[in-house]
Structure 1
């Protein structure tokens, strides 16, 4: 049952959109459907503020891997000149290698993104990498050797500045993906490696030395092979004493904090000099490039005191540079809200990626788990509340470059579902992401129905025409095309749906700022509802001043039409779309009927 909230008092005369997941474009509504122009609504937003003034809660993110997006300059495809640590790795037929995407390529597609409603771009790391190590390739950008310049595979510092400048002119923010936990694999250990850096006979890794073992026998004896000495920038990063040097992590227990990830050099972030050095690196990047925020990699593998110093310093510097709404969010790969929230409360990060949301929503929409899974998640939202942040600032997502895509999850967990059902479920899950609390993140390619074969490199397909056989044999959602084709189609049903959801979200401040309250969850019918209600964090005036309104969002995640009954606590519920039917009775109840795999978005009086 829906209980009345004290702030929902005044009569609400505005419009609210009630739409199915497969509803047509906002600009192509049937004039006889009863749809009222959303511009007439008291809840209609003013034009979105410029990027510098815009709160992150008003943003829609696009997470893109530059190498796999669009090749705007073929001259940089091989990276640095031959002989450099940042040279090579190009092989457009290999899913592991570089494919040629770059800053120029992203710049060329800004209008494609803007038309979809994207207001912020988050790129995987773009700083200079060790291009090839252990037979792998740094197409992802996470093997940094130089923290002062862009990787030559992606262009030059000037190219990056031009992209940011062009994006800002279009009111699109640009976020950097940064790393403090490790650098590329340059440091070797005398106990495990030969002088040239290769493993000694019989070894393929260096066993982790625990803190107790370090007390007894010390860390490994670290050295850098001659051919890679002095390759890191700033210069202090070349000194092995600023690293843990305890061997390879197994990603469990203490070694997840002190061990080397697959041989990557694990930085000693407990050292005060390292803390100062990392703050210096990233404040200089802010001053030079003026990004709008950072996503921080591998946050849970660095101890909390580091974040308590690093995050406030970064935020203060950004403000001093005139970037008032600079936002920082960390990657804490854990679906448990208690673990996630510890980094925003005790750890002082403004936000984290909401792996709890991905787990719960993905479970319901992609695996057909009970809808009450979402109820359990939202009931824990209070864990994120503190003096300077709350759950609304988390970034929500459905898949990513590590775990895989919605299309992959659907193929894996619902293999017997039709392609049409999978498309409907993906659309519906995206609607949930846009209408729920948090800041939505679209993973590149999902808007074109990409599916992928799994996680990691199997979820990193090319948007530009691909030559990777294992990508090109995939069946995409909502299209007959494959990744062999150019996939920047604004007519794709997922692209159009996402654009529509973004437009609705922009028009409804409560979807950006409103508190989310659980209303009802019926596991038998696979129907659930929540409300977005006004709260004290909503800015005064402008786009987000709606203090006495509420939105009701209802989802039907079943293959059958469903009817649910809710208590009628308002004079009426206003509907725009003809897809969802709502009716009030004399006994104080309201009936809502939803088609299969659909949602309804309602205003209340």
Structure 2
């Protein structure tokens, strides 16, 4: 289907949009209020967080932990299982590559520490039984699975996991598993590429060239084989048959190799086969049945056939519901910063959510490399990509760094090598504040709350919380402390631990920070000021969030209605003069205010669908909407319906923020001839418009 193209320029950032006013305590209008950043400064308005079993994902705060590098509670399991050679060995506490002894029992032993940070959900790297050692390293990370039914003996036992989950649930905390469907450990070899021993035929060879589908059609192929001693190492048993794998050589991360190629030699499962879809779905249903986790994070999502996700996601969540886990939640790892690429998997792919790499990349650029603030405003304006009938940008998982790309502390030191220790600390605090206050669900990477920095990505970002023996970890300059990774780093008085705990307290106290719309309010590139509102239409309360990302004190203005605000958190001075909020904020700071009186509802004067256009593999359907008082802070919800030739309708998208539009994959529109939009001002008043889709 081809759609008429409309050349229309949207204002992606906007300044001085009419909003509520300021503190009731600021009478007379020019009186100012000094704001302090204190842990006990939050005056909670709502702490009614649901129990874990019925708690919505938007109410979660995640702690992402790698068990092997966290805490060693059972040294007896440090080397795995000697009775199963493939899952034995690899302990070397001096090597950043090897196993270090941390385990599931260690996570349970530190639940006080984790919960004290304000965390409600724990996400662990994979803990299923792995191949412990491969030619290119050690499986301390858990991504080289051979047995999908059993916990890796380096990390403990099935009973240890059940104990952790029970202990977490008793505290109203959730536990999420990290799972892999793209590949298993490297067991399958190719006669054309490997010797019978499994080593490469050519000296210094590191990969097997990828064979494309076109080359397969011409008769070129690999002949897969498995060494005799490894023919039955995988569980379930069907995973030992090479016919369930693509066997086309190593991926070079482009074209079809991204889906069908071996991921750095790992055996790439052919997820297009119905038997594989059914088999892996049953594997993970069984895990839910046995352990009762609260959700899955899925590895390497974009390297799996999207038809697999269309079947897998709904089947898994339905199974969990039948077991009495109504809020079981799935989010995927799609290593892509473009919302057009990420949202493909939450719309066409039917996954509930993904990790928001776009958030991580843009915060890194703006806060650690002093790039344009418009990157942030554009990021949130592009949330329309996620708003189909059953997806929301508020369900995205926000993060600053991770075990692959590196730590926020490293990004600060790398991007701004000449700043002092205090500025490093403040930038880390501001990065976490952006993560906790923006739309989406915050994910704290273990060790960031202790100022860990690392030397880069991958193993250089996987330091120990227990005293480390790795020299390249112990020479790192940690942020906010004189300690090193050679010390015990479960310090609950670290300034970043305290700051994150405070951010969690603020987030849990204000529903708008968890469920509200994210509305850009001001972007000043010269002063490096970024402001946004979080608004829950059901409450019509405006939570105004202002960041001064400059190193200098800044004075600036935001338009205001005749409303009053109360202080929530942050630092700086603010006063109201006429219809303007005037801020005076120190460098590298934030302020939060909540409106005391509700925002007034606006009347919608007109809603009209404009000509559709194509961009980033999407069909955009823009809507012109006007209000009776355009100068005000106006809110509306638009619901889009696809209309078939017989008059039947299906909801296809929603939108709640400017610019108002639907962003849809072209194939989702192929069965419709018209599109209808209904706009409401969240009260009884609504308007609608129908337009023909032009082929």
Q: Does 1:71 align with 2:72?
A: yes
Secondary structure of the 1:121 match is strand
Equivalent position of 1:32 in the other structure: none
Partner Cα distance (1:436, 1:555) in 2 = 12
Q: Does 1:551 align with 2:565?
A: no
The equivalent of 2:557 in structure 1 is: 565
1:572 Cα shift?
A: 2.4
More deviation, 265-274/410-419: 410-419
3-state SS of paired residue (1:575): strand
State the Cα distance separating 1:533 from its structure 2 match.
1.1
User: More strand by proportion, 1 or 2?
Assistant: 2
SS at match of 2:150: strand
Contact 1:19/1:599, CA 8 A, preserved across alignment? no
Residue 82 of structure 1: how far off its partner (Å): 5.4
Secondary structure, in 3 states, of the residue corresponding to 1:528? strand
Aligned partner of residue 217 in structure 1, secondary structure = coil
- Would you say the 8 A contact 1:219–1:244 is kept in 2? no
Q: Aligned to 2:54, what secondary structure does the other structure show?
A: coil
Selected match of 1:213 from 194, 215, 236: 215
Q: Which has the higher helix share?
A: 1
TM-score, length-scaled by structure 2 = 0.81
Query: Structure 1: where are the runs of 5+ without partners?
Result: 30-36, 536-545
Distance 1:19 1:508 in 2: 21
Determine the structure 1 residue equivalent to 2:38: 24
Match for residue 582 of structure 1 among 570, 574, 583:
574
1:573 Cα shift? 2.6
Any conservation in 2 of the 1:128–1:152 contact (CA below 8 Å)?
A: yes
Checking the alignment, whether the CA contact within 8 Å between 1:573 and 1:582 is kept in structure 2 is: no
1:269-303 CA distance string (max 9 Å, x none): 00000000010000000000000000000000112
- 1:52 match: secondary structure: helix
Distance 1:566 1:242, change over 3 A: same
Where in structure 2 are the equivalents of 1:22-171 lying within 5 Å? 23-26=37-40, 38-39=43-44, 44-81=45-82, 84-171=85-172
Structure possessing the higher radius of gyration over alpha carbons:
2
Q: Match of 1:415, SS?
A: coil
Match of 1:176 in 2: 177
Find the counterpart in structure 2 of residue 517 from structure 1. Answer: 519
The one of 377, 393, 396 equivalent to 1:394 is 396
Secondary structure, counterpart of 2:561 in structure 1: coil
Match of residue 599, structure 1, among 580, 590, 604: 590
Is 1:129–1:138's contact at 8 Å kept on the other side of the alignment?
yes
Is 1:405–1:459's contact at 8 Å kept on the other side of the alignment? yes
Whole-Å separation in 2 of the counterparts to 1:564 and 1:49: 39
Alpha-carbon distance in structure 1 between the residues aligned to 2:208 and 2:306:
26
Q: 1:207 to 1:12 in 2, by over 3 A?
A: farther
Give a deviation string over 1:46-66, Cα, whole Å, max 9, x none: 442211011110010000000
Q: How far does residue 578 in structure 1 lie from its aligned partner after superposition?
A: 7.8
User: Could you say which residue in structure 2 is the equivalent of 1:348?
Assistant: 350
* Partners of 1:372 and 1:556 in 2: CA distance: 14
1:460-471 to 2 correspondences below 5 Å: 460-471=462-473
Q: How far, CA to CA, are the matches of 1:141 and 1:19 in structure 2? A: 49
Partner in structure 2 of residue 423 of structure 1: 425
Aligned runs of 1:356-505 on 2, under 5 Å? 356-505=358-507
The answer to whether the 8 Å contact 1:146/1:234 transfers is yes
Equivalent position of 1:262 in the other structure: 264
Task: State how far apart, in whole Å, the 2-side matches of 1:239 and 1:358 are.
Answer: 39
TM-score normalised by the chain length of structure 1: 0.92
- Supply the distance in 2 between the matched residues of 1:556 and 1:577 (Cα, whole angstroms): 14
**Cα distance per residue 1:380-401 (max 9 Å; x no partner):** 0111012222000010000000
Corresponding residue number in structure 2 for 1:299:
301
Give the conservation status (yes or no) of the 8 Å contact 1:187–1:240: yes
For residues 560 and 101 of structure 1, the distance between their equivalents in structure 2, rounded to whole angstroms, comes to 43
- Separation in structure 2 between the aligned mates of residue 293 and residue 303 of structure 1, nearest angstrom: 21
Aligned partners of 2:451 and 2:491: how far apart in 1? 11
Distance 2:391 2:571 in 1: 37
CA contact (8 A) 2:545 2:592 kept: yes
Alpha-carbon separation, structure 1, partners of 2:567 and 2:201: 70
Find the aligned partners of 2:121 and 2:376 in 1 and give their Cα distance.
26
Q: Secondary structure at the match of 2:52?
A: coil
**Of residues 325, 329, 332 in structure 1, which corresponds to 2:331?**
329
2-structure distance, mates of 1:485, 1:332: 35
CA–CA distance in structure 2, aligned partners of residues 453 and 560 of structure 1: 29
> CA RMSD, aligned part only?
1.7
Give the Cα–Cα distance (whole angstroms) in 1 for the partners of residues 302 and 561 of structure 2.
Answer: 44
Per the alignment, in what secondary structure is the counterpart of residue 380 of structure 1?
helix
What is the CA distance between 1:571 and its match in structure 2?
A: 2.0
Deviation readout 1:437-478 (Å, 9 max, x if unpaired): 000000000000000001100000000000000000001000
Residue 162 of structure 1 aligns to a residue whose secondary structure is: helix
How far residue 579 of structure 1 moved from its aligned partner, in angstroms, is 2.5
Q: Match of 1:227?
A: 229
The aligned residue for residue 646 of structure 2 is: none
Contact 2:185 / 2:267 at 8 angstroms: preserved in 1?
Answer: yes
Q: Distance in 1 between matches of 2:202 and 2:373?
A: 54
Task: Give CA deviations for 1:61-114 in whole Å, capped at 9, x if unaligned.
Answer: 000000000001000000011552000000000000000000110000001011
In structure 1, C-alpha distance between the alignment counterparts of 2:369 and 2:243, rounded to whole Å = 47
Answer whether contact 1:3 1:569 (CA < 8 A) is retained. no
CA distance in 2, matches of 1:60, 1:469: 32
CA contact (8 A) 1:196 1:225 kept: yes
Classify 1:321/1:576 alpha carbon distance in 2 versus 1 (closer, same or farther; 3 Å).
closer
Distance 2:288 2:310 in 1: 19
